[in-house]
Amino acid sequence: MARGLRFGVVGVVTAALHYGTLYLGVAWLGQGSTAASSVGFVVAVSFNYAMHYYWTFADGVEAAPHGRALRRYAAMVAVGFVLNALVMYLGVHGLHWHYLLAQAAALVVVVAWNFTLANAWVFRA
Protein backbone atom coordinates (compact mmCIF):
# COMPACT_ATOMS: atom_id res chain seq x y z
CA MET A 1 0.00 0.00 0.00
CA ALA A 2 2.74 2.46 0.98
CA ARG A 3 4.74 1.57 -2.13
CA GLY A 4 1.72 2.25 -4.32
CA LEU A 5 1.21 5.64 -2.66
CA ARG A 6 4.88 6.56 -3.10
CA PHE A 7 4.70 5.40 -6.73
CA GLY A 8 1.68 7.65 -7.21
CA VAL A 9 3.35 10.71 -5.67
CA VAL A 10 6.45 10.25 -7.80
CA GLY A 11 4.22 9.65 -10.80
CA VAL A 12 2.29 12.89 -10.33
CA VAL A 13 5.49 14.94 -10.08
CA THR A 14 6.98 13.05 -13.04
CA ALA A 15 3.85 13.69 -15.11
CA ALA A 16 3.98 17.40 -14.23
CA LEU A 17 7.60 17.54 -15.42
CA HIS A 18 6.68 15.71 -18.63
CA TYR A 19 3.62 17.85 -19.36
CA GLY A 20 5.46 21.05 -18.46
CA THR A 21 8.30 20.23 -20.82
CA LEU A 22 5.82 19.21 -23.54
CA TYR A 23 3.85 22.44 -23.20
CA LEU A 24 7.01 24.56 -23.09
CA GLY A 25 8.35 22.83 -26.20
CA VAL A 26 5.15 23.23 -28.23
CA ALA A 27 3.78 26.56 -27.02
CA TRP A 28 6.97 28.48 -26.37
CA LEU A 29 9.68 26.87 -28.49
CA GLY A 30 7.61 25.83 -31.52
CA GLN A 31 8.63 22.16 -31.45
CA GLY A 32 6.39 19.47 -32.89
CA SER A 33 4.30 17.66 -30.29
CA THR A 34 6.03 14.29 -30.74
CA ALA A 35 9.50 15.83 -30.42
CA ALA A 36 8.52 17.94 -27.40
CA SER A 37 6.91 14.93 -25.75
CA SER A 38 10.08 12.91 -26.34
CA VAL A 39 12.24 15.59 -24.69
CA GLY A 40 9.77 15.72 -21.80
CA PHE A 41 9.98 11.96 -21.50
CA VAL A 42 13.77 12.08 -21.04
CA VAL A 43 13.53 14.85 -18.43
CA ALA A 44 10.79 13.01 -16.57
CA VAL A 45 12.43 9.58 -16.49
CA SER A 46 15.69 10.99 -15.15
CA PHE A 47 13.84 12.39 -12.15
CA ASN A 48 11.67 9.27 -11.93
CA TYR A 49 14.56 6.80 -11.66
CA ALA A 50 16.22 8.63 -8.80
CA MET A 51 12.99 8.97 -6.84
CA HIS A 52 11.95 5.36 -7.36
CA TYR A 53 15.37 3.92 -6.55
CA TYR A 54 15.94 5.97 -3.41
CA TRP A 55 12.36 6.32 -2.14
CA THR A 56 9.54 4.32 -3.77
CA PHE A 57 11.22 0.92 -3.87
CA ALA A 58 13.65 1.43 -0.96
CA ASP A 59 11.34 -0.06 1.65
CA GLY A 60 13.41 -2.82 3.18
CA VAL A 61 12.93 -5.32 0.37
CA GLU A 62 16.26 -6.46 -0.98
CA ALA A 63 16.92 -4.06 -3.82
CA ALA A 64 18.90 -4.69 -6.96
CA PRO A 65 22.34 -3.09 -6.92
CA HIS A 66 22.28 0.39 -8.42
CA GLY A 67 24.05 -0.59 -11.65
CA ARG A 68 21.74 -3.53 -12.34
CA ALA A 69 18.64 -1.51 -11.47
CA LEU A 70 19.77 1.30 -13.76
CA ARG A 71 20.30 -1.09 -16.68
CA ARG A 72 16.90 -2.67 -16.12
CA TYR A 73 15.31 0.75 -15.74
CA ALA A 74 16.92 1.86 -19.01
CA ALA A 75 15.43 -1.19 -20.79
CA MET A 76 12.01 -0.51 -19.28
CA VAL A 77 12.21 3.16 -20.22
CA ALA A 78 13.38 2.41 -23.77
CA VAL A 79 10.22 0.42 -24.38
CA GLY A 80 8.18 3.10 -22.58
CA PHE A 81 9.77 5.77 -24.80
CA VAL A 82 8.67 3.91 -27.92
CA LEU A 83 5.19 3.35 -26.48
CA ASN A 84 4.92 7.06 -25.61
CA ALA A 85 6.01 8.21 -29.08
CA LEU A 86 3.74 5.67 -30.79
CA VAL A 87 0.65 6.69 -28.83
CA MET A 88 1.49 10.39 -29.37
CA TYR A 89 1.93 9.89 -33.11
CA LEU A 90 -1.22 7.80 -33.50
CA GLY A 91 -3.25 10.12 -31.29
CA VAL A 92 -2.16 13.37 -32.96
CA HIS A 93 -1.73 12.26 -36.56
CA GLY A 94 -4.00 9.23 -36.82
CA LEU A 95 -6.91 10.18 -34.58
CA HIS A 96 -6.41 13.97 -34.83
CA TRP A 97 -6.54 14.44 -31.06
CA HIS A 98 -5.16 17.54 -29.38
CA TYR A 99 -1.59 16.82 -28.32
CA LEU A 100 -2.42 17.09 -24.60
CA LEU A 101 -5.17 14.48 -24.94
CA ALA A 102 -2.81 12.19 -26.85
CA GLN A 103 -0.23 12.65 -24.08
CA ALA A 104 -2.84 11.69 -21.48
CA ALA A 105 -3.48 8.43 -23.35
CA ALA A 106 0.27 7.82 -23.65
CA LEU A 107 0.65 8.49 -19.93
CA VAL A 108 -1.86 5.76 -19.06
CA VAL A 109 -0.10 3.22 -21.28
CA VAL A 110 3.40 4.06 -20.04
CA VAL A 111 2.44 4.21 -16.34
CA ALA A 112 0.84 0.76 -16.53
CA TRP A 113 3.95 -0.61 -18.27
CA ASN A 114 6.35 1.06 -15.81
CA PHE A 115 4.57 0.06 -12.61
CA THR A 116 4.32 -3.55 -13.69
CA LEU A 117 7.99 -3.86 -14.61
CA ALA A 118 9.39 -1.66 -11.82
CA ASN A 119 7.55 -3.60 -9.15
CA ALA A 120 8.29 -7.07 -10.52
CA TRP A 121 11.74 -6.73 -12.07
CA VAL A 122 13.62 -3.41 -12.24
CA PHE A 123 14.24 -2.74 -8.55
CA ARG A 124 14.33 -6.37 -7.34
CA ALA A 125 17.59 -8.11 -6.53
Is the Cβ–Cβ distance between 88 and 72 less than 8 Å? no
C-alpha span between 12 and 4 (Å, rounded): 12
**DSSP-based three-state secondary structure for 80:** helix
| pLDDT for the residue 57 | 82
Kindly report the pTM of this predicted structure.
Answer: 0.74
| pLDDT for the residue 2 | 80
Q: What's the pLDDT band for 123 if we cut at 50, 70, 90?
A: confident
Q: What is the DSSP letter of 118?
A: I
Average pLDDT, the chain: 90
| pLDDT for the residue 20 | 95
C-alpha span between 110 and 113 (Å, rounded): 5
pLDDT digits (tens, 9 = 90+) for 33-64: 889 988 998 899 899 998 988 888 876 666 77
How many structural domains is the chain composed of?
1
Residue 39: domain span:
2-122
Q: What percent of the chain has pLDDT over 90?
A: 57
What angle, 0 to 180 degrees and rounded to 10, lies between the N-to-C axes of helices 99-117 and 66-89?
150
| pLDDT for the residue 89 | 95
Q: What's the pLDDT band for 71 if we cut at 50, 70, 90?
A: very high
Is the Cβ–Cβ distance between 118 and 76 less than 8 Å? yes
